[in-house]
Structure 1
Amino acid sequence: MTLSEEALDRLADVVELQPTKNSELQDRWELDSGSDVHQYLESELSEYYFRDDDSLIRATPEAADLVDVEPGVESDPEGGSIPSKISVDELQSAILSVVPGPDERSASVVAILQRVRAETDFDPDVEDVRAGLKRLRRTGVVDVEYRTVPTYRLAAERSDIDVNVTESA
């Protein structure tokens, strides 16, 4: 199925906003009703979305690959490279709460792991923290600095990033 430019843009919205509802897409796409959203999804994007157990709209993995958008990340509409809104799981939220700020000295994965364990209720292993940091880096909210080992810090002030915590799978 070849998608039009509009369909690709709307598919990117589904990926970015997931999990989402008809009403949220209705607002984003400036449609008249949730029925119009449903009709568009079925006619244009049926291969690239599904509804989860809570009837929320989610994109298929193929959709995310097709539009090259990180799920759950909203970009700044004014073109900034740092997302203004991000959906993360509980561990990634804990990581964001302890990772050094943009003006602070970056910290290693192990240092961030120790901070997560000391300052939150989580006791993750180092690989989970490393994976969380990599995802946060891909979304643009965390920068990496290569010293002896890779080190991380926020790309923007915490107050500039709206974090939506989703349940872990």
Structure 2
Amino acid sequence: MTLSDEALDRLADVVELQPTKNSELQDRWELESGSEVHSYLENELGDYYFRDDNSLIRTTAEAAELVDVEPGIELTEDEGPPSRVRVPELHAQIIEVLAEPGERSQSVVSVLHDLRETFDIDPDVESVRSGLQSLRRKDVVEVEYRTVPTFRLAIERDELEVAVAA
């Protein structure tokens, strides 16, 4: 299956963001709906992606070889949290401010305030929530359910290499 330049670019996005969801790809590709993402994946990239047991989108080994992009996560040998992640800038900033393992987990609003204070940025709450959930799916962040879901790193910050995706 020969891929167009657009399909190769989008396949690179999937490799970089995996594990991912339709909504993340919808945002990246500036599409109108998750249905459009699904159709594109099925029609253009069907041989190069699959959905895991949690319905998250992942790429095949062949897909990673086709594009010159490192996968979104690099697992450690013991299949624990990853040792390396490639994430958008906001996600990298979340990692910088989020509570470490063993510390009290933080609410989305607490993380938002820390981002504002540390980086002088003003993301919306939904962007922070989405970033935390994306990092949770990558096993970098763990969730603790109290009155509201709260988050902390699943791995020591200095044991995780973070690359910011373009």
For the superposition of Structure 1 and Structure 2, which TM-score range results when normalised by the shorter chain?
Answer: 0.5 to 0.7
Q: How does 1:13-162 map to 2 (within 5 A)?
A: 46=2, 50-52=7-9, 58=12, 61=41, 62=45, 63-66=48-51, 68-69=57-58, 72-76=72-76, 78-162=77-161
- Higher Rg of the two aligned structures: 1
- For residue 66 of structure 1, report the CA deviation from its aligned partner: 4.5
Partner in structure 1 of residue 19 of structure 2: none
- For residue 69 of structure 1, report the CA deviation from its aligned partner: 3.3
- For residue 58 of structure 1, report the CA deviation from its aligned partner: 1.6
CA distance 1:122–1:64, change in 2 (3 Å): farther
CA distance 1:159–1:51, change in 2 (3 Å): same
* Letter of the structure 1 residue corresponding to residue 120 of structure 2: D
- For residue 122 of structure 1, report the CA deviation from its aligned partner: 1.9
- For residue 46 of structure 1, report the CA deviation from its aligned partner: 4.4
- For residue 59 of structure 1, report the CA deviation from its aligned partner: 6.1
SS in 2 for 1:92: helix
* Structure 2 gap ranges (5+): 15-40, 60-70
* Letter of the structure 2 residue corresponding to residue 131 of structure 1: S
* Letter of the structure 2 residue corresponding to residue 69 of structure 1: R
SS in 1 for 2:132: helix
Q: Give TM-score scaled by structure 1 length.
A: 0.62
Contact kept, 8 Å, 1:91 with 1:122, in 2: the verdict is no
SS in 2 for 1:123: coil
1:91-127, CA deviations, whole angstroms, 9 ceiling, x for partnerless residues?
0011110000001000000000000001113210000
- For residue 52 of structure 1, report the CA deviation from its aligned partner: 3.2
Q: Give TM-score scaled by structure 2 length.
A: 0.63
